[in-house]
Amino acid sequence: MSDKIFIFDTTLRDGEQSPGASMNMQEKFRLAQQLVKLRVDVIEAGFPVASRGDFDCVKNIADNLVGVQVAGLARCHRKDIETAWEALKGGDNPRIHTFLATSDIHLRHKLRMSRDQMLELAVDSVKFAAGFTSNVEFSAEDASRSDLDFVCQVFTAVIDAGATVLNFPDTTGYAMPDEYGEQIRYLMAHIPNIHRAMLSVHCHNDLGLAVANSLAAIAAGARQVECTVNGLGERAGNTAMEEVVMALRTRAAMVGVHTDVVTEHIYPTSRMVSTITGMPVQPNKAIVGANAFAHESGIHQDGMLKERTTYEIMNPKDIGLSKGNLVLGKHSGRHALKDRVETLGYTLTDEELGRVFERFKGLADRKKEMFDEDLEAILMDEVLRISETYQLLSLGVMSGSRTLPTAAVQLMINGQAVEASAIGVGPIDACFRAIAQLTATTSRLLYFAVSSITGGTDAQGEVMVRIEDDGKVVVGQGADPDIITAAAKAYLNGLNRLVYLKKESARPQ
């Protein structure tokens, strides 16, 4: 039987560090439920000591999900480790994941400590964590740029102290695949007690090599891969979970390893992450991009008509992608809607289903055809929205080639209806100016993008904005057949997220 590769998903922790990709507790829990369906082995749910909100998210996931290990990140500080355990202790074999840098660059310039001091702190921290649980992971930050003999010394010591998983990260995405594979082989050969622990890798994508480096590490003996859905993460992102999993599945005979991931849930999970974070998947993205299974070349189309495998090395059904995704219409009932919602990866309460069904029927009356993307936009509005400080009541605009663009906006703010009008260089600018006036926001609009959710002139328009205020960056999303209304919804969603983040920051630790 082939060896198992453990999938450690850090979308909720490292993935959330992408600028603007912050998630609230409800969104994190929904995604964690989907990751359980995907059957990842470990969910790194957050960094409990970072904020009260992060603590609550980790605790909520650990307390309420079964069949998966939930991990919490902790620096090599006793307070971090104690806080992590307090959040995790209700879980099913929870994992404390503690870390400390081993590279001379980090020791000298960031930590300002010697190698001996680093080793002593790492051993003390792992011993302390092992007093709470036998499931302890230690990460040597910036390991790929560290002296390998020193890393071997540290790993040998922390195994004796109680670590059961050792993580060798390429923190800066600096390594090359051959080099990284050789580093893993060196560790496997020079850590005398390595048989008592599992070797893990965590690669960043700064040079576009995260997946290649992870696969090289697996070939060299690593048995856990730390990754994120859609490759989400700070800077250029992390190892893309879907790419590693499908590479191992597609080339199983060659690599001789496997994962337990239920690949049919990959595409719905990818869509959910994109919808929640507002981070769109590029069309040519491997596995889950819109063009991943598209064939435009006449030669390719001819081959596909004769035999699918001439140009497809994977079956789109294997990742849960149905090419005929026209699913529902205005005559569809509640049961059919519920079934499709569950296929997309969402489990709704009766109250939530009722709200979604009402919105669905209203949209179906206006559109000829309903697609999965239309349904996901409704789910985002009705189920995944954070509590709204600002709510759109009505919007009217006047614009044209000979008309001064003007917008009149009515909002509900903390239970009170308020309204304002404004003039802009275009109808959307006028609308945003009126909203800014009503909310008294000092935020800056960093990015604005509009796209069509599906084809046709009756398609819903989807707007994504990125907003910054006092160093906090959020993404706002909105969808509506009227593009100006979609823009207003996106702007308000972003402002509501800013309010949420400010409230979280103000909460006592």
- % of the chain beyond a pLDDT of 70: 90
- Say if residues 26 and 20 touch (Cβ distance below 8 Å): no
Contacts of 363 by beta carbon, 8 Å cutoff, 6+ apart: 370, 374, 378, 460, 481
Tell me, what's the pLDDT at 292?
Answer: 82
Quote the CA–CA distance of 349 and 26 in Å, as a whole number. Answer: 13
Q: Can you name the residues that pair with 240 across neighbouring β-strands?
A: 228
- With 0-12 / 13-18 / 19 or more C-beta atoms within 10 angstroms meaning exposed / middle / buried, residue 23 is buried
Question: Which pLDDT belongs to residue 506?
Answer: 65
CB–CB of 242/288 below 8 Å? Answer: yes
Q: Is the pLDDT assigned to residue 160 strictly greater than 90?
A: yes
Closest to 438 (Cα-Cα) out of 500, 382, 488, 501: 488
Average pLDDT along the chain: 89
The size of the chain, in residues, is 509
Least confident of 1-5, 224-228, 323-327: 323-327
Looking up tokens 């819903």 gives 460
Q: What's the helix, strand, coil split of the chain in %, to 5? A: 45, 25, 30
Question: How do beta strands 3-4 and 198-203 pair?
Answer: unpaired
Q: Which CATH superfamily is domain 3-277 in?
A: Aldolase class I (3.20.20.70)
Q: What single letter denotes the amino acid at residue 243?
A: E
C-alpha 384 chain-centroid distance: 14
Question: How many Cα atoms are found within 13 Å in the side-chain-facing hemisphere of 352?
Answer: 15
* Model confidence, pTM: 0.85
Helices marked H in 320-456: 334-343, 350-366, 372-382, 427-439
Instruction: Look at residue 264 in the predicted model and tell me its pLDDT.
Output: 94
What is the average pLDDT across 186-213?
Answer: 98
What would the two tokens of residue 327 be?
């699913």
CATH 3.30.160.270 residue ranges for the chain: 390-506
Overall average pLDDT of the 202-228 stretch = 98
Residue 325 clears pLDDT 50, i.e. is over it = no
d(CA 9, CA 21): 16
Dig out the tokens for 204 from the structure: 């960043």
Residue with token string 């359980």: 36
Domain ranges in the chain with CATH number 3.20.20.70 = 3-277
What pLDDT does residue 440 have? 95
- With tokens 């560290």, the residue in question is 146
Report in angstroms the alpha-carbon separations of 373 from 31, 271, 321, 494. Answer: 17, 9, 13, 21
pLDDT, tens digit (0-9, with 9 covering 90-100), for 250-273: 999 999 999 999 999 999 899 889
Token pair recorded at residue 269? 């999970």
Q: Hey, how many other C-beta atoms are within 10 angstroms of the C-beta on 415?
A: 6
Which is nearest to 422 in space by CA: 412, 410, 437? 437
pLDDT given at position 329: 67
Crossing angle of helices 25-38 and 266-277, in 10° steps, is 170
Q: Hey, how many other C-beta atoms are within 10 angstroms of the C-beta on 66?
A: 7
pLDDT of residue 330: 64
Q: How far is Cα of residue 27 from the mean position of the Cα atoms in its chain? A: 10
CATH number of 298-382: 1.10.3470, 1.10.238, 1.20.1300, 2.60.120?
Answer: 1.10.238
Please state the separation of Cα 179 from the chain's center in Å. Answer: 28
Residue ranges of the chain that CATH labels 1.10.238:
298-382
Q: Taking the domain 390-506, which CATH number applies?
A: 3.30.160.270
Query: What confidence score (pLDDT) does residue 129 get?
Result: 98
Look at 12-21, 133-142, 329-338 and tell me which has the smallest mean pLDDT.
329-338
Query: What is the arithmetic mean of pLDDT over 283-298?
Result: 77
Residue 10 pLDDT exceeds 60: yes
pLDDT at position 326 over 50: no
Number of other residues whose CB lies within 10 A of the CB of residue 24 = 19
Q: Fill in the amino acid letter for 370.
A: M
Per-residue pLDDT of 45-73, as tens digits, reads 999 999 898 999 999 999 999 999 999 99
Quote the radius of gyration of the chain (alpha carbons, Å).
24
Give the whole-number percent of the chain exceeding pLDDT 90: 64
Integer Cα distance of 208 and 436 in angstroms: 39
Nearest in space to 224 (alpha carbons), one of 52, 432, 71: 71
Residue 81's alpha-carbon distances to 53, 84, 98, 159, 214, in angstroms, are 17, 5, 8, 17, 28
CA nearest to 64, candidates 28, 12, 29, 25: 29
Q: Give which of 50, 49, 90 is closest to 70, Cα–Cα.
A: 90
Look at residue 231 and tell me whether its pLDDT is greater than 90: yes
